[in-house]
Structure 1
């Protein structure tokens, strides 16, 4: 792909756009000045209004704004037209050849889309989709996410009551998961009370709710108690960090994470992650299909891709190993093996390279080292 030519074309478009904008502003400024000058002359009533307007008309003809604007706009349109044609030439918009013809279960697809709409908080659209697709209502998912968004919406207005009720009801489970979100919610509520000037109420709240967390979070609780001494001037205290609005945003994200964990859902939307991963892997698939032109039948029956599709770390959800020689994914029957040179291959690849002879040395495919099968050690991920 000629990225340099695309960049040059883009630079030409931006240059023409800046020139066109600058010329337009200059022309408009000239017209404005002449009109303002004519208005001031009319207001002074020294010459006749008719002569002033005739003079203004003559000056506007000299400026010829339409001609000036049309010339720069024409250059911009030409550059933009060439740029779009270059993009169409370099990038193939037809992605249909990058996927195989698979008979999807329409019911499953509809359920995935509906679940996605609910977890994104689009409840009315989700209900409409369920109705029009004649699917059964996903009552459980809708109820769960409806509760979650009610809690998050309340937090946006600094109302922590729904969040605290949820955390209290799930106290034991949150502790087992190692989450201290309940304490963080109580901390925010404590600071809200203290900021309102009710020091006695804040102390009473602390005595009621901080005790269960004293054993594991004593240093933080001590800092919160010290805040009582700075009531009314917390902004200038050593504990002003507790007043940062970022605590609310971070806690909202953490609550959504913990809520999804408790109901057995992924915090990140599966459908969004799938689409994003597909977009990232699409160039590799398109390139593969260009190479395999004329082998469409082989592509349709292929059980695994002959080339790796590299995805970012965010799309790797479990540890895997793919043999760099055979391109097979390691498993119980074909585990990864560490060779004496430090490189790793799957067992079947090592067997083929050694010709199934455990005492016969073979050369590592990636370095000059001679390796024996007996020296290879299985790796456990």
Structure 2
């Protein structure tokens, strides 16, 4: 399916390149002849009138130009056909309308609670990308109270990202050193870009002096540092290291810094979209299968097929006594009365008890350790 579409696009692209290579030189040549003829017949003749011979020559060149345009137009129609074929292949192999893909599709725009959640997801995603101005505008225009995530400090964002966009990376470097020193790869890239910017601004001696900051990365980034030293010494002759001067590097670094500032490597929104996109082909195939056999489809909230997810999401439990999340080493424990605490909290309560029985901290009922059960979420 994808191969057929790719083949059509390749043919269309090739046809357009051939069209340009064929017709552009011919048109430029004919226009040059017309300009030359104009200079000879009009600009060098002060009488303001054309002779019979001049009129004949001008008409002949105009006829050639018109014929050239007609041939080019005919050739262009063939190219337009190949482009239209790409659209037909897309319509043939991809289902454009997905509204009836599942019977119980949620309409979040008509559900105030769902609409609030969707807008919050978009708002958090924009913040994670460092687009503070866009996120602020979105929050204002949504006319909803969108809470900023606790792990996202907007003021900190502005203090670091505003200088960064002006190519002042020192605030970002200093903050990462103090708060995210494990981000060694990001620190290396930032130091490297400082050197590249110094070179681009003509401060080669400053760039050479700044290279001392790369010493701490010597053991892990020996090859990268070697290439960087070549660039510093031989600039502006950068050889095969032209990729270090690619403008897109700044966009990549900006996104990485934003993720570090938000203390996560992605947002729930992007993961939801990835999972949903991977589910569509399977659901389409299943829909065709079900439609041939029954008109009911599936009506429950559970999808009728398994969707592979790279990062599984699970429920968590926070112990109401110790105020910490449970782990495999410190799992949630259900007491006989039904209340749940962590294993560590239960152990402490047993040690402080005068008898072998454990009293629930939230009700009068008592139980022994053998009467408790480990919970699995």
Deviations 1:202-236 (A, max 9, x none): 79xx8xxx9xxx9xx5977xx9xxxxxx9xx9626
**Are 1:77 and 2:57 counterparts?**
no
Shift of 1:302: 6.1
Shift of 1:186: 8.0
Check 1:50–1:15 CA distance in 2 against 1; reply closer, same or farther (3 A cut). Answer: farther
**Contact 1:97/1:286 (8 A) holds in 2:** no
**Counterpart position of 2:302:** 303
Where does 1:279-358 land on structure 2 (aligned, <5 Å)? Answer: 279-293=277-291, 295=294, 297-301=296-300, 303-306=302-305, 308-309=306-307, 316-317=310-311
Which structure 2 residue ranges, 5 or more long, are not aligned? Answer: 109-113, 223-228, 315-327, 329-377
Check 1:297–1:72 CA distance in 2 against 1; reply closer, same or farther (3 A cut). Answer: same
Q: Which has the higher helix share?
A: 1
TM-score normalized by the length of structure 2: 0.56
**Contact 1:23/1:69 (8 A) holds in 2:** no
**Contact 1:23/1:72 (8 A) holds in 2:** no
Shift of 1:189: 7.8
Where does 1:216-231 land on structure 2 (aligned, <5 Å)? Answer: none
Structure-2 separation of matches of 1:249 and 1:75:
37
**Counterpart position of 2:97:** 94
Check 1:141–1:25 CA distance in 2 against 1; reply closer, same or farther (3 A cut). Answer: farther
TM-score normalized by the length of structure 1: 0.55
State the number of aligned residues.
Answer: 290
Shift of 1:198: 7.7
Which structure 1 residue ranges, 5 or more long, are not aligned? Answer: 224-229, 321-331, 333-381
Q: Which has the higher contact order (CA 8 A, sep 6+)?
A: 2
Deviations 1:286-340 (A, max 9, x none): 111111116464522263433x445xxxx612599xxxxxxxxxxx9xxxxxxxx
Secondary structure of 2:153's match?
helix
**Contact 2:130/2:254 (8 A) holds in 1:** no
Pairwise CA RMSD of aligned residues?
A: 5.3
Shift of 1:179: 5.2
Shift of 1:158: 4.4
